[in-house]
């Protein structure tokens, strides 16, 4: 376990955080273009360590061992400090691929966050195991690009995975696996090519997800907002611990009326969205990837 003093030292980096202040306003277009160019160049050269088929094979690993994970933090933080810590520990994940319509490289984008200073990144199984992608890389808050070297472990049912990059002394988020429903939380992610968005809410409940590929796995629901590109984003408590991770959304619409008037003046019924369920993987599912079964 790492001492709290070391944790504070690792987090207390001085590099400006894009988007954190008016003086460090982020240029989303430039930032994401730089990441995509780096991942595409890696794929074009073909010298990336983690090849497509190897990545998919490694996603079958149920656990990994030998990781040293930090202890959870117990002191409440200000919103400003939570943003700072979340931003420094979070990464943008890109995978470069080619479509059938042109010769250019394209990129899929997602989120993730470090759980250890030794280059261990948590993200979703559906991010790590996506069938497209010849090269995979991440960008940290300071603009540094790292290719993904390995998928250490992954769990499709709980939608979690651990990646390894060649980096030391990364800022990280400790994991906490016992936050109860009703707890205030914040979500830090990169929705729709928008870097470093934070939203707040509460944990609304834990539930068994009964979709075929989930097989009853336990997930967390929250009211914190997020959108596409947020997959793998951290869900944090008020002490800066990661209690979960963005996984999916499930919008709820009004139902169509049973009887529709069959007249020429009748207007077609259009269901309206009533709410969005925000489904998140749990920190316990991430921790389970590090435990031998």
Q: What is the pLDDT of residues 141-161, one digit of tens each?
A: 999 999 999 999 999 999 999
Confidence of residue 292 (pLDDT cuts 50, 70, 90): low
pLDDT, tens only, 197-209: 999 999 999 999 9
Residue 180 to residue 202: CA distance in whole angstroms? 10
pLDDT digits (tens, 9 = 90+) for 4-43: 434 443 444 567 899 999 999 999 999 999 999 999 999 9
Domains of the chain: 30-63+77-250+276-288 (2.40.10.120)
The C-alpha angle with vertex 60 and arms to 57 and 65, in degrees rounded to 5, equals 110
Pick 160 or 266 by higher pLDDT.
160
Is the full-model pTM beyond 0.75? yes
pLDDT, tens digit, 9 for 90 and up, residues 47-69: 999 999 999 999 999 999 989 89
Q: Which residue from 219, 188, 187, 218 is spatially nearest to 202, judged by alpha carbons?
A: 187
- 93 exposed, middle or buried (CB, 10 Å; 0-12, 13-18, 19+)? buried
* Mean pLDDT value of segment 175-203: 97
């Amino acid at each position: 376990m790492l001492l709290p003093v070391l944790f504070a030292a690792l987090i207390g980096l001085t590099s400006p955080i894009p988007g954190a202040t008016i003086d460090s306003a982020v240029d989303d277009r430039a930032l994401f273009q730089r990441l995509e160019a780096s991942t595409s160049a890696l794929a074009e050269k073909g010298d990336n360590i983690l090849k497509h088929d190897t990545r998919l094979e490694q996603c079958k690993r149920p656990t990994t061992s030998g990781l040293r994970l930090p202890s959870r933090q117990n002191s409440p933080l200000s919103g400003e400090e939570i943003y700072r810590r979340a931003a420094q520990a979070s990464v943008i994940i890109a995978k470069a691929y080619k479509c059938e319509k042109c010769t250019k490289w394209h990129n899929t984008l997602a989120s993730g966050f470090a759980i250890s200073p030794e280059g261990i990144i948590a993200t979703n199984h559906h991010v790590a195991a996506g069938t497209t992608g010849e090269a995979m890389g991440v960008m940290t808050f300071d603009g540094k690009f790292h290719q993904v070297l390995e998928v250490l472990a992954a769990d499709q049912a709980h939608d979690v995975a651990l990646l390894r990059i060649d980096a030391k002394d990364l800022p990280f988020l400790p994991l906490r696996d016992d936050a109860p429903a009703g707890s205030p939380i914040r979500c830090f992610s990169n929705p729709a090519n928008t870097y470093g968005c934070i939203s707040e809410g509460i944990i609304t409940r834990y539930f068994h997800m009964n979709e075929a590929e989930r097989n009853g796995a336990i997930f967390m629901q929250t009211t914190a907002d997020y959108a596409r590109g947020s997959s793998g984003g951290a869900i944090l408590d008020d002490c800066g611990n990661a209690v979960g991770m963005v996984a999916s959304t499930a919008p709820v619409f009004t139902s169509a009326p049973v009887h529709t008037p069959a007249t020429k003046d009748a207007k077609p019924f259009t269901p309206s969205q009533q709410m969005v369920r925000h489904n998140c993987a749990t920190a316990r599912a991430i921790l389970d990837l590090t435990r031998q079964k």
